[in-house]
Every structure is written in structure tokens, then in C-alpha cells.
Structure 1
Amino acid sequence: MPLHLQRQREIVEILTRNGFGVLATASGLASRWPSSRIVHALTPVEYRIDPALRSPTIVRRTLEELGPTFIKLGQILSTRADLVPPAFQAELAKLRTAVPPEDFASIRATVEAELGAPLAEIFATFEERPLGSASIGQTHAATFVDGRAVVVKVMRTGVEEALRTDIDILRGLVGQVQRRWAQARTLDLLGFVDEFDRQIAGELDYTREGHNAERIAANFAHRPGLRVPHIYWEASTSRVLTMERLDGVAIDDVAALDAAGIDRVALGKRAATFILDMVLIDGFFHGDPHPGNLLVAPDGEIQLLDYGMVGSLSEHHRRQLVTLVGAFAARDAEKLSDAVLALAPPLGRVDRPALDRALGHLIAEYSDKPLAEVPVVPVFNELLEILRTQRLKPPPELSMVVKMLTMVDGLGRVLDPGFDMMGLLRPYGVKLLRQRLEPDAVLRTLLSLASEGSALGAEFPEQVRRLLRRYETEGVHIGVDDRSLAPAIQHLDALGDRLVAGMLLASLINAVGALGATDRNWLSRARGPLLAAGATAALGLGGFLLDSLRRRR
């Protein structure tokens, strides 16, 4: 891996300045600077944690100072209740990626280099002032020479190299942390960095964003009411994306919606239904449906923008998510536990009674409310906190789904104070069942079963031969988890100690008696010392036995 020494030094200086010097050294980032190693070596082990790590505000400000990569990292962590406590989630959600725009000369140079022609040959107009500016790119209003209104998204100069450098450093930092701290290994932080890397890679390739938009447009081709901007591939590359310009009012601009005569209650239900259909029916969804990415046309059509962040959910996870909602709605704690374990397998041994109790308390907390009044987002956030404390590992996409539900629920309540998210969620069990019973879905299932059955039939004889060979060479070994036997083993140890002490005491008495019986003259001479030694030994052993018996009670 490249060393990136200059950037490492910058990160160490920022961490140290904000109170994270121990983290910088323990992670290996500061190991090239002797003064940091000396401070770390002189710090007692019990104090080798930065107090700043306990402050959500300081963590957020530090991430902002570290730059775009770490800001994006913090934004993703703000949705990961399985990794981050609630107080940190709330603080990290305040992170923003808005940055000053890049100078227009650089933007022009990028567009012309990518499209292979002067700006004036492709666009009749190209606004120098951007519509929006973020850490990876910025958007400009433009018009093709034939009059079509478009928006052009242009990647910042040098952003790819900067992000790749930070991710390389981040991967090395997390690797060091996992090697030093066992708890970090149980959280699979390297897996999280890999997931973050994949997301950034997607955002650094605008052709992926264009294909994401086309995929969602195709999924909704027969469901009217949602508009996805058309992608103009003749003026798009991996670093420039040109799309149809849509005009509408922001979906949370209540005054403008009322002035246009748009039914806000119906609008809220349609917007939520579109998002839920993406998640639970299509399994491919927009990952950032905040109000800035949702416009409303004069006829009430919803326009969805920005497809840089998307998520996917497998059919299995969609079924389990709907089952989970159904179990909560039915107030069935046992079924809810089953659904949770199917959706989020345990990292180690699961304490099922503790999980049942936690989920039972969650159900009881809302049992006095009608389902229409149950707040979906707090329920899901509490559920994710239970998964974290019970060391269950949900699919990473689940956090994005909860983030989407949070956005949709908040938007729905802005448009309609009586918005009922739970009422919209409940019918999806039937929708999924209908989807599974469609001829194409049944045929796919049958083909999958046939393929699996064929593979199993072909592999079975070889698997049996391997099992028999292993039995012949190694025999049968039975593994026992000694943690469940620990109390019995401790009891046997104590019982053994008492038996040994009793035997020693009896042997001492017997030895003295035997010596006295065989040599009475010796006994008369040694009576004093023997009595003293015997009394001391008897008192000691007797005291041990009494104490052992007392502790046993």
C-alpha cells in the first residue's frame, strides 16, 4: 500500500490537535514520529483512550476538519445503529458535504477534455454559477445547441486521488485497530471499510449513476406518477453526467404546494409508497431521498433526482423485513425474535432469553397505542440498538433502509400530520406473496430448486466418501463447550480439595497412632512435639474444611 506520508502527517496533526493523540499513535499512523511513540509508551495502559472519543461533538468536528472522505464516512456511520451508539448517530447526522465551488476554468477544462469538444459546440448555454456544490462534484444548468434544457454534473479535479489516498490510510488504520483491540474485530470494521470503499467507487463513476437512474425508471415504467430524469449518454462519461433538467417545487415547500392546489395528504402517501415499493418490491432503491432530491411538478407528478447513492435488498431480506413488521404488528415476541435472528445472524453465541426479553419490552412499550399511532422510526432505531447490544449482525443495507424510512416518515408528517407509516407498511406482506406467486417468479424458484437438487445429487456420493475416509483415519471426536460445565467443574474442584484435606488429616492421625503402638518409649519422648505439630496441622486442615463447607452453603 502506498505510504502517503504527507497526508498521514496531516491526519496525525488534526487528530492530535483535537484530542485524539492516543488514537493516532495506537493505530500506527503516528509511528513514524518518535515523539508520539514516546508519549504512547509512557502512557499507562488503562489511560490509553482519548477522552475526546466520548464526545460526539468533538468527533463530528474532527471529521469535518479531516475533509470530504471522513465527512462521508461519518454520514454513513450516522445510519449504522449496529456500530454507533444513538448519541453519536444524532451528532454525525449533522455532517454536511457542501463545499465552496471549484473555479469555472477547471470545470470547463474537465467538460471539454471528457466530451472531446469545445463547450460552445455542445451547449448553447452553460451557467458558470453552479446549482449545487458538493465534495465530489458540482452541477450546472445548461442548454444543448438544439434547445434541450439539461443539468451537467462535473467531477472535481483531483478528487479521485484524494479519496483513494484517504481510504488507503483508513484501511491501514482500521487494520491496526483490529489487531490491537479484540472488540474491534467482533464489529468487523474492515468489512465496513470495504463497504465504504465500494460506495465511494460508485460515486466516482458517473456512468454508474446514470445506469442507476435508468434501472429505477425501468422498474417504474408501468407505475405512473414518478419521473426520473433522462440521461443523455452522448454528453456523459465517468466524470461528466448530463441529464434532463426537471422543474418543480420542493416537496417540503408546503406553501407552494398549497398555492398550486396539490393534495398534500395524497402526495405524502404516494411519495412514501414509491420509496417502499423500491425497497420491498423491487429490492433496488434510491439511497438518499431527502426533500432536496424530490420535486413536485404542477400536475402533482413526483420528480426524483440524484442517483449517486443506491442500495439493494435481497428477496430473503425483504421477506424477513416484512415478517418482522408483521410480527411487531401482531405483538408476537417469539415470532419477532425468529424474524430478527433470520435477518441478523449472531456474531457468536446468542442469548435467546435475553433477546426475547428485550424484544418483549419493545413490544410492551407500544402495546397501549393503536398501530396507526406507533412511530415507525423510533421502533426501528430501538430495534437496531437491541441488535447492537445483543451482538447481532444485520445486513448493511438495513441501516440504509432505516435511514430512508426516517426521511420518508419525516416528510410524510410535514405533508400530513396524521401520516400513518405503519399502515402503509402492513400490506407489503400480501404484495410480496403475490409477487412470489407470479408465473415468472414460480418458474425461477422451480429452476433454482432443480439446479440446487441436481448439484446436491452430483456432490452427495463424493461427500459420503469423504466422510467415511475421515472416519476411518481420524475416528469420531465429540466437542463439548466447557463454559456450560464451569459450575460443575468448580464444584468438583472444591469437593476434591476437601477430600484431599480429610485424607491428609486422617493419615496424620493414623501415622501417629501407628508409631505409638510400635515404640512406646519413642512416643513418651516425642509426645510434646507431636501434640503441637498434630494440633497445628489438624487445626489448619479442619479450618480449611470448615471454610470450604461454609462457602459451599
Structure 2
Amino acid sequence: MFWQAIGAARDLARAHDIAAVLIRYGFGDLVRRIGMAEALERAGKALHWRAPEELARLEPPARVRRALEELGPTFIKLGQILATRVDLFAPEWIAEFGKLQDAAPAVPFATIRAQLAEDLGEDPATVFAALETSPLAAASLAQVHRARLADGREVVLKVRRPGIRPTVEADLHLLARLAEIIDAEAPDLRRYRPREVVQEFTHSLRRELDFAAECRNAERIAARFVDQPHIVVPAIHWQWCGERLNVQDYVDGIPGHDMVAADAAGLDRKLLARRGAAAVLKMMLQDGFFHADPHPGNVFYLPDNCIAFIDFGMVGRLSETRRYELALLLHGLVSHQSELVARVLLDWRSTIDGDADADPARLRAEIDAFVDQYSGVPLKQLDLGAMLTDLVAILREHGLALPPDLSLLVKAFITLEGMGRQLDPGFDMGAEAAPFLRRVLLAHNAPAALAKRGWRALSGTLDVLAGLPQDLSEMLRAGRRGKLQIQVEVVSLKRFGEQLDRAASRMTIGIVTAALIIGSAIVMTVVRDPALAGLRTFGLLGFLGAAVGGIWVLLSIWRGRKG
């Protein structure tokens, strides 16, 4: 099976590299189970590496993280996406995935100069009064150079690495094939939803490769903070931006992780924590469009306790309905309404394929205990980070997963609370979130919102009623012509019918085979039948046909048992 996947990907050498790294880090059994070892042996590759002793002593999460680092940029990005899936992986896995650093050796400026000139439409020296050839930072997809415009304005150029898209697309294609094989050949790994994760990762990485989309994200978020001067989003210079180039204002601030510099600058860390939390909560719960990776590397502290956000390649979106469900969930927790919490979780579950086997009664029982843990705790004192961690642990135990938009939100919540406590050990995320949650609940049940939803429902009902006479007329005409068809498909019955069909086919061939044997035995006794090599010709042909039929029946039974 995997041989066809490699042929489709046209990248046997890359598949060999992946298998070699997995085996070196002690995942040889996984390689064998998904068929990679056999395929590579056919290709003349020998896999006899052993994991070094120091790697063998590492825990599985650490070994996986080290393997992803060695596999390169695409897989590092995959690990960063996995770090957002707190609903699929236990905390120790999330912690290891969070250590993946998106860093890479810088590409010499001479290598990117031609591409930069093509994107700018003229020589870089003509556009910029000064351009630093040494990058400020270099990552797997791009590197950043500082420059100065003719008017003296300081900017940064985020330049995509030349030739990176074909490499990424090849890796994505191969990952999709690997996910299909793991899903089919490794049942114990299906709980990690390999196809869903790879699909989510593919969409995310392709969006990150389009720097114009990142620019649009930045401007969309900046527009929501025009009335809040203490929140800064770098201005975009669209005349030079495109798919491979992002030119924006340079942010000269203190990195989010440098608490010593923040204290030296006289900044109010408690105020920074509240402002940062309020900004991200506004994006999530009020605007429904948020920075999905607000870690310290993407945050800078500016004079007057201002905060700047950069890097909007990864964003999350929450519909109005989803924001209301989240607020309803938290309301159910603090008001001790476990049935309400269970209803929201089961509604979320119903939108995900493969979750039908979860036991609702057992889930409700665990939710009762979970809710009781937070019984009587005011919303302002609710530890949202701990609550969400416990919640996704329950989901993992039941084999459930959050929709992708909510998994991003949970990860961003936890990251945000961690940053807030780093700035202020007494930071209370529940108190900061309370006003936003209250506004969401009030807005959803406001008279105008109720009237709007009612009008939509009424309009839909009227549309159905208006079209009902025509639909009935067409149905009656089809009935009079004898062309009215009603199709009901029951998956379990369909499978049962297929099994009956196979059984009937085997029985038929078995009966024909038995008839051939009996008939051939009778024919062999007929003296007038012409002989061939001392045997009666028609009798010999009958026995051959019976042998073929018998072999077919045996093969069919064997294949059925294997399936």
C-alpha cells in the first residue's frame, strides 16, 4: 500500500529519510506496521539503524519532539499545530511540542536578492534608503530584514525563502498519504485523528505561506483597536507586499519574555497583564477573530505600557454561535448546571466525525463530578486555565475532540494565562474574562438579537411554505408517471446485504463445483467418451472446472476472514 503512496508523492528519498529518523528515535515498530520498511526494502534500502542509548532513555514525547526537529521545517510546523491540540494530547506531550522552535539557518542575502527585486518591482537599493543584509531572525519559511524608507521610517521585510513552496507541498502530500496509511493500518493511533490533524495542518501552513493573507489579518485586527492607542499592530506597506513579501513597520520594543528589561524600563507589569488579556479576550469573544499564537515571541512591550502584537500568520475564527456556546459552558459551570455543560459538549461532539461511540451517560456522570469541583466558585475567581485543562482531559478520556476553532482558542487561552501570570503572579484570568462573557450572553439574548434570529427562522419557514405547492405538484406528477422513488439507505443493512451477496455467491459456486464433480465422475464411466492421456476428455474438463471453483471459494473465504 505504501509503495503506491510513495509513487504518488514521487519522493522515495524523502520517505527513506523519514523512516530513517523514526527508526533512529526508536519508532521502528511504527515504521514496520505502516508498511514503510517493506516498501523501502523493495527499493533496495537497508534499515538497520539502532537508536543511540541516550535517545532510548528519553520519554516518548521527547523522542517525538526530537524526531520532528530533525525532520525539518514542515514537521516542526506540524509539531506547533499539534501543540494546539490540547484535546488530543496529554499535558506532557503538549509541553514537548511547545518546545519546538521555528528557527533555521539564514539564507545568504545574495540568494534572496533576485526574488526580492522581482517582488518589489525594482532593485531593493532603489526602494530603501538602507537595507540590512544580515537578518534579524530566520525561520523555516521566511527570514526578516530591517530596512529604512526614504522618508526615514523604519520597516522590516519578511521574505519567504526561495523555493520553499515546492518542498512544503511535497512534504504535505507525503504527510497526507502517511495519515491515510496510519488510519488504516494502526487502529490504536486513530484516536489522534491523523487525517484531521494533517488536513488542519495543511490549511494552516498554506495560509502561512501566503504573506498577503497575513497582512490582511493584521489590518483586520488593527481596525478593531483603532480606539485603543495602547494596543499597537504594525502598519502594512501594501505597495510592496505580496504572497512572498511582507513589509511592515518596525517595532522597537521589549520582547514579551524579558521581564528584567520591562522592570528596568519602569513598566507596570500588572497593567500590561490586564491590557494584554483584555486585547486577546476582545479578539476572541467580542470580535470572533483572534491571534491564535500570542506567545511572548509575538508580543512586545512599548513605552507608556503599550503592547504590540506581531506575526498574524496563525489566526482563529469563532462564529457568533460558537462564542455564545463558550459563554454558556462557563455559565453552566459557575451555576452548577451539569446538564447544560453536557449539552454544550455533546453538541460540539456531534460536529466531529467518529465520535458516535462515546457514552453520553458516562460523559454526563463525569461532567457532574467536574462541575461539582467548581461549585460555588464565582466567575471572577474561576481559574480558566485549570478548568479548560480539566475539561479537555475529560474529552480525551472519552475519545472526543474539540472542533479546530475551539482547540485553537483553548491553546490561546492557556498561553495567555501563562503570560499574564509571568507578568503578574496574582493575575486572574476569570476576572478579566467575566465582563466579556457577560456581554456575549446579554448580546445573544438581547431583543434585537432575538428578533433577528426569529426573522431568519420565519423567513426560512415562509420560503419552505412558498415552495411547498410546487414541490407537491412535482411529486404527484412523478407518481402518476410511475417515476416516484423513495431511497432509504441504512449503512448497517447495506453491509449485511453485501455479506449475504458474498455468501450466496460462494454457495452458488460451491453447488456448481459439487455438480461438476458428480457429473464428471458419471462421464468418466461412459465408454464412448474420447480419451485423452488415458482419461475421459469431458470428465477431465469437468474436474478441472471443479478445481478452479473450489480454489475460488477457498480464496474468497480466506479474503473474507482477513477483511
The aligned counterpart of 1:380 is 388
- Equivalent in 248, 266, 270 of residue 265 of structure 1: 270
Cα 1:477–1:298 change in 2 (3 A) is closer
TM value normalised by structure 1: 0.77
More displaced 10-residue stretch of structure 1: 76-85 or 305-314: 76-85
The SS at the match of 1:426 is helix
2:412 aligned with 1:408, yes or no? no
2:407 aligned with 1:399, yes or no? yes
2:76 aligned with 1:71, yes or no? yes
The SS at the match of 2:151 is coil
- Extract unaligned runs of 5+ from structure 2: 1-7, 48-55, 494-563
Partner amino acid, structure 2, of 1:12: A
Q: For the residues of structure 1 that align with 2:73 and 2:491, how far apart are their CA atoms?
A: 50
Partner amino acid, structure 1, of 2:135: P
Cα 1:23–1:388 change in 2 (3 A) is same
Give the superposition deviation at 1:458.
4.6
Give the superposition deviation at 1:10.
1.4
2:66 aligned with 1:61, yes or no? yes
Partner amino acid, structure 2, of 1:383: L
- Maintained 8 Å contact 2:86/2:411: no
Give the superposition deviation at 1:53.
11
Q: For the residues of structure 1 that align with 2:456 and 2:251, how far apart are their CA atoms?
A: 42
The aligned counterpart of 1:508 is none
The aligned counterpart of 2:371 is 363
- Maintained 8 Å contact 2:327/2:441: no
- Maintained 8 Å contact 1:20/1:53: no
The aligned counterpart of 2:425 is 417
**Structure with bigger gyration radius:** 1
2:457 aligned with 1:452, yes or no? no
Cα 1:65–1:244 change in 2 (3 A) is same
2:193 aligned with 1:166, yes or no? no
Give the superposition deviation at 1:393.
3.4
Q: For the residues of structure 1 that align with 2:364 and 2:471, how far apart are their CA atoms?
A: 38
- Equivalent in 302, 305, 311 of residue 306 of structure 1: 311
- Maintained 8 Å contact 1:20/1:52: no
Give the superposition deviation at 1:180.
2.4
Q: How does 1:456-471 map to 2 (within 5 A)?
A: 456-458=464-466, 460=468
The SS at the match of 1:311 is strand
Cα distance per residue 1:253-292 (max 9 Å; x no partner):
3344344443322221111011011011111001111122
2:130 aligned with 1:122, yes or no? no
The aligned counterpart of 2:549 is none
- Equivalent in 254, 258, 266 of residue 253 of structure 1: 258
Q: For the residues of structure 2 that align with 1:139 and 1:474, how far apart are their CA atoms?
A: 62
The aligned counterpart of 1:17 is 24
The SS at the match of 2:339 is helix
Q: For the residues of structure 2 that align with 1:172 and 1:308, how far apart are their CA atoms?
A: 26
Query: How many residue pairs are counted as aligned between the two chains?
Result: 471
Q: How does 1:510-549 map to 2 (within 5 A)?
A: none
Give the superposition deviation at 1:355.
1.1
The aligned counterpart of 1:5 is 12
Q: For the residues of structure 2 that align with 1:173 and 1:201, how far apart are their CA atoms?
A: 19
Cα 1:86–1:418 change in 2 (3 A) is closer
More displaced 10-residue stretch of structure 1: 357-366 or 231-240: 357-366
The aligned counterpart of 1:328 is 333
Partner amino acid, structure 2, of 1:3: R
- Equivalent in 295, 306, 316 of residue 321 of structure 2: 316
- Maintained 8 Å contact 1:63/1:71: yes
The aligned counterpart of 1:351 is 359
- Equivalent in 273, 277, 291 of residue 296 of structure 2: 291
Cα 1:478–1:229 change in 2 (3 A) is closer
Cα 1:249–1:349 change in 2 (3 A) is same
The aligned counterpart of 1:485 is none
Partner amino acid, structure 2, of 1:341: L
2:39 aligned with 1:32, yes or no? yes
Give the superposition deviation at 1:480.
11
Partner amino acid, structure 2, of 1:97: D
- Extract unaligned runs of 5+ from structure 1: 41-50, 482-553
The SS at the match of 2:152 is coil
Give the superposition deviation at 1:424.
1.8
Q: For the residues of structure 2 that align with 1:230 and 1:206, how far apart are their CA atoms?
A: 14
The SS at the match of 1:355 is helix
Cα 1:316–1:31 change in 2 (3 A) is farther
Give the superposition deviation at 1:320.
0.7
- Maintained 8 Å contact 1:52/1:58: no
Q: For the residues of structure 1 that align with 2:339 and 2:489, how far apart are their CA atoms?
A: 34
More displaced 10-residue stretch of structure 1: 123-132 or 206-215: 123-132
The aligned counterpart of 1:200 is 205
The SS at the match of 1:150 is strand
- Equivalent in 137, 154, 157 of residue 152 of structure 1: 157
- Maintained 8 Å contact 1:30/1:37: no
- Maintained 8 Å contact 2:254/2:262: yes
The aligned counterpart of 2:101 is 96
- Maintained 8 Å contact 2:285/2:437: no
Cα distance per residue 1:468-524 (max 9 Å; x no partner):
979x9779999999xxxxxxxxxxxxxxxxxxxxxxxxxxxxxxxxxxxxxxxxxxx
Give the superposition deviation at 1:228.
1.0
